[in-house]
Amino acid sequence: MTDSDTSSVGHSDVLVVGYGPVGQVLAVLLAQRGWRVTVLERWPQPFPMPRAVSFDGESARILAAAGVAAAIREHGESSREYTWTNAAGDVLLHVDVPDRGYFGWPDSTSMYQPGIEAALAARGATIPNLRVLRGHVATRLVNGPEGVELVVEGADEQRVLTADWVVGCDGANSFVRTEIGATSTDLDFSNDWLTCDVVLHDGREFRPNNQQVCDPQRPTTVVSAGPGHRRWEFMRLPGEPVDVLRDTATVWRLLERYSVTPDNATLLRHAVYTFEARCADEWRRGRALLAGDAAHLMPPFAGQGMCSGFRDAANLAWKLDLVLRGLAADALVDSYQDERRAHVQHALRMSVDLGKVICQTDPGAARDRDEVMIAARERGTSGVRPRSSMQRLTTGLLARSGGPAGGLVPQGTVARAGASGWFDDLVGYGFVLLVDGGASDVLADGLPAPLRDLDVRVVRVLPAGTPVADVGDDAVVDVDDVYLPYLSQAGSRAVLVRPDFYAFGGVDDAAGLAAVADELHTGLAAAAVTG
Upper half-sphere CA count for residue 82 (Cβ side, 13 Å): 18
**Long-range pairs for 118-122 at CB < 8 Å and ≥24 separation?**
118/46, 118/71, 119/68, 119/70, 119/71, 119/74, 119/75, 120/21, 120/24, 120/25, 120/28, 120/63, 120/66, 120/68, 120/71, 121/2, 121/19, 121/24, 121/46
Burial of 205 (0-12, 13-18, 19+ CB in 10 A): exposed
pLDDT per residue of the chain (531 residues) written in tens, 0 to 9? 656 556 667 899 999 999 999 999 999 999 999 999 999 999 999 999 999 999 999 999 999 999 999 999 999 999 999 999 999 999 999 999 999 999 999 999 999 999 999 999 999 999 999 999 999 999 999 999 999 999 999 878 899 999 999 999 999 999 999 999 999 999 999 999 999 999 999 989 999 999 999 999 999 999 999 999 999 999 999 999 999 999 999 999 999 999 999 999 999 999 999 999 999 999 999 999 999 999 999 999 999 999 999 999 999 999 999 999 999 978 899 999 999 999 999 999 999 999 999 999 999 999 999 999 999 998 887 655 544 456 899 999 999 887 899 999 999 999 998 899 999 999 999 999 999 999 989 999 999 999 999 999 999 999 999 998 878 889 999 999 999 999 999 999 999 999 999 999 999 999 999 999 999 998 887 754 433
Domains and CATH numbers, the chain: 2-78+104-184+279-356 (3.50.50.60), 413-525 (3.40.30)
The predicted structure's pLDDT at residue 203: 85
Closest CA to 303 of 378, 386, 232, 196: 386
Count CB atoms within 10 A of the CB of residue 188: 9
Strands 2-3 and 91-96: unpaired
Distance in angstroms (rounded) separating the CA atoms of residues 417 and 434: 18
Closest CA to 318 of 9, 18, 25: 25
Q: Which are the contacts of 453, defined by CB distance < 8 A and separation ≥ 6?
A: 327
At 182, is the secondary structure helix, strand, or coil? coil
Distance in angstroms (rounded) separating the CA atoms of residues 60 and 68: 9
| DSSP assignments along 396-413, one per residue | SS--TT-TTTTPBP---E
E strands in 189-229: 191-200, 211-214, 220-224
pTM of the predicted protein model: 0.95
Closest CA to 94 of 234, 225, 232, 208: 208
What torsion, rounded to 10 degrees, do the Cα atoms 274, 299, 74, 20 define? -60
The predicted structure's pLDDT at residue 472: 85
Q: What is the DSSP letter of 388?
A: P
Name the CA radius of gyration of the chain, rounded. Answer: 24
Residues for the chain: how many in total? 531
Whether cis (ω within 30° of 0) applies to the bond prior to 208 is yes
Count CB atoms within 10 A of the CB of residue 329: 16
Distance in angstroms (rounded) separating the CA atoms of residues 15 and 358: 40
Distance in angstroms (rounded) separating the CA atoms of residues 298 and 307: 11
Distance in angstroms (rounded) separating the CA atoms of residues 327 and 106: 36
Distance in angstroms (rounded) separating the CA atoms of residues 299 and 190: 8
What torsion, rounded to 10 degrees, do the Cα atoms 68, 415, 465, 408 define? 50
